[in-house]
Amino acid sequence: MSIIEVILVGLIVGAVARLLVPGRNPIGILGTLGIGVGGSFLGWWIGDALIGTRALRAHPWLWAIGGAVLLLLLLRSFTSRRKWLVGSRRWHW
């Protein structure tokens, strides 16, 4: 895979993950790219551990998007917790 393909797949997967997770996601295009690429690797790793590489090849996009959604939810939980620890007086739901 070339670097251009990795960037395009990362942007597509990251954008779909941002659309699937409700609420505000204050990350830019580089954050979306990072979520997409990192989520693709995370989804592939989880799918390989659960069902094996051979069965994983049937739906790689679903595993990539699932991993990106999981990564986005983890990122959101850490950033909202950090705002609470700093002493923000507003509630962030």
**Does 92 score more than 60 pLDDT?**
no
**What distance in Å separates the CA atoms of residue 44 and residue 35, rounded to the nearest whole number?**
14
DSSP string, 30-55: HHHHHHHHHHHHHHHHHHHHHH-HHH
Confidence at residue 8, expressed as pLDDT on a 0 to 100 scale: 92
pTM: 0.77
**What distance in Å separates the CA atoms of residue 73 and residue 50, rounded to the nearest whole number?**
21
**pLDDT band at residue 85 using 50, 70 and 90 as cut-offs:** very low
Q: Give 49-65 pLDDT, tens digit per residue.
A: 888 777 677 788 898 99
**What distance in Å separates the CA atoms of residue 62 and residue 69, rounded to the nearest whole number?**
11
Confidence at residue 84, expressed as pLDDT on a 0 to 100 scale: 45
Residue 52 tokens read as 């094996």
Average pLDDT, the chain: 82
Confidence at residue 55, expressed as pLDDT on a 0 to 100 scale: 67
Domain ranges of the chain: 3-21+28-80
Residue 68 tokens read as 């990106």
Name the DSSP class of 58. Answer: T
Q: Give 61-79 pLDDT, tens digit per residue.
A: 898 999 999 999 998 888 7
Name the residue with tokens 């950033």: 79
Q: Give 28-47 pLDDT, tens digit per residue.
A: 899 999 999 999 899 888 88
